[in-house]
Structure 1
Amino acid sequence: MSNVIALDESYNEPTPRSLGDESAHYGTNWANRLIGLALSKSSSQYWRDAKFEWFVDTFDDLGEPVEVCVCGNSGLRYVYGVANHVTGATLGPIGSFCIERFDSDEMIEQMRDMSALARLEADAKAGTLGRASFTVRGIDVLHDRGVLDEADWRVMRRAYRLGRARLRNDPALSRRVMWIVELTIRPALLTGVLAGGAA
């Protein structure tokens, strides 16, 4: 408990009333700490409403499991930050299990999108950006974030579906993919700003 108080002096342990009918679902101390902190920074006083005020705002791969979540869970390598679209408050670092405590499919999708972009950014910075770096999710997020226009998105999705062996049999498509990666995707990834913000 003292760890959480040090992180945020305004923390109040959630009460069964503020948790509503969900108190049994969030019975663990770490989940209660997360929910208490999020409630203290939300406009709603009830978790069933407050959890929808939040979205995933940032992601960071620390390379080693060295971070501590706001709930007190230690050993995090992948950490997220969340922001409240009503109050403007932020909360972090948060691990993926705590993101799931918000019971929001949208936040889980945001978390997965940021992870896919971070993987692409890391490979671009390491000079290893290639077919193994790409996933359907990563390609779709590049399109959603405006990096790929509709035509380039379709080319990348088609190339991904074909696979490496069949792509080699289509030299024109292979060249087009190479141009898209080198002239559009890699420069956008090297700026490092795509994985840092919510969609």
Structure 2
Amino acid sequence: MSTHNFETLRSAVLDASVAKRWAQAVEEWQVVGVEEDPRGTGICVCGKTNLVYLYTIHNERTRETLFPIGSSCVNLFEVEELNVSVAVLRRLFDLRASFNSGRPVILTTEHFSRAVLADLWQNGAFPPNEYNRSNGDNDYKFLLDMFNQRHDPTEKERRKIWVLINRVIRPFVMADARLG
């Protein structure tokens, strides 16, 4: 397994950015997707081999995309928002795998985080309907409150959590185009 080559990464990023200095150029990028290569044959734009999780980053200013890029190279950008995006997309990817495996998915740190719930909300996973008073924000806030609480949910809360996970989040995650 070869290690990353920062100069190769730096060159690729700068060539595809408006800014010509690393510190400014990294601010132009966002993580827009992740794919899995179970055989680990992926090669990062920096040259690192044996990648399993292949991220896509996009520069909205130049319309340039870099793929595949490994999470360790994204971390070299030292942009907190990108690091959070990498972590969230990986968690969503794992959540999809849990749904596919048929294992029960519950509202715990094994499957969710505050950042994952926020990402689901920001990307439209909670549509308005008659059960959330025509405001999807209510479903997000409910799940966040349930995730943060220190006591077991009531039976009614458990049923609502189950419905939101299995009838709202599951179809959203299964169809999420960011998860290759």
TM-score class, shorter:
0.7 to 0.9
Rounded to whole Å, the distance in 2 between the matches of 1:138 and 1:129 is 18
Counterpart for residue 144 of structure 1 = 122
TM-score scaled by structure 1?
Answer: 0.74
Moved over 3 A (4+): none
Rounded to whole Å, the distance in 2 between the matches of 1:29 and 1:113 is 23
Instruction: Tell me by how many angstroms 1:188 deviates.
Output: 1.3
Counterpart for residue 158 of structure 1 = 145
Rounded to whole Å, the distance in 1 between the matches of 2:27 and 2:56 is 15
- Does residue 103 (structure 1) correspond to residue 78 (structure 2)? The answer is yes
Counterpart for residue 4 of structure 1 = none
Rounded to whole Å, the distance in 1 between the matches of 2:152 and 2:141 is 17
Instruction: Tell me by how many angstroms 1:94 deviates.
Output: 0.7
C-alpha distance after superposition, 1:26-71 (max 9, x if no partner): xx97001000111112222222322222111211122343211111
Rounded to whole Å, the distance in 2 between the matches of 1:129 and 1:137 is 21
**Higher RCO (CA-CA < 8 Å; seq separation 6+):** 2
Residue type at the aligned position of 1:30: N
Residue type at the aligned position of 1:155: F
Q: Does the CA contact (< 8 Å) of 1:58 and 1:82 recur in 2? A: yes
What RMSD in Å do the two structures reach over aligned CA positions?
2.2
C-alpha distance after superposition, 1:64-99 (max 9, x if no partner): 432111111112111111111111111121111110
Q: Which has the higher helix share?
A: 1
Rounded to whole Å, the distance in 1 between the matches of 2:138 and 2:74 is 34
Counterpart for residue 33 of structure 2 = 58
Larger Rg: 1 or 2?
Answer: 1
Rounded to whole Å, the distance in 2 between the matches of 1:82 and 1:58 is 7
TM-score scaled by structure 2?
Answer: 0.81
Counterpart for residue 48 of structure 1 = 23
Q: Does the CA contact (< 8 Å) of 2:57 and 2:65 recur in 1? A: yes
Q: For structure 1, which runs of at least 5 residues remain unmatched after alignment?
A: 1-27
Residue type at the aligned position of 2:94: R
Q: Percent identity among equivalent residues?
A: 24
Q: How does 1:79-158 map to 2 (within 5 A)?
A: 79-131=54-106, 132-148=110-126, 149-158=136-145
Which of residues 160, 167, 175 in structure 2 aligns to 1:183? Answer: 167
Q: Secondary structure at the match of 1:81?
A: strand
Rounded to whole Å, the distance in 1 between the matches of 2:19 and 2:141 is 42
Q: Does the CA contact (< 8 Å) of 1:66 and 1:76 recur in 2? A: yes
Q: For structure 2, which runs of at least 5 residues remain unmatched after alignment?
A: 127-135
Rounded to whole Å, the distance in 2 between the matches of 1:160 and 1:151 is 14
Q: Figure out how many residues of one structure are paired with residues of the other and give that number.
A: 166
Residue type at the aligned position of 2:138: A
Q: Does the CA contact (< 8 Å) of 1:121 and 1:190 recur in 2? A: yes
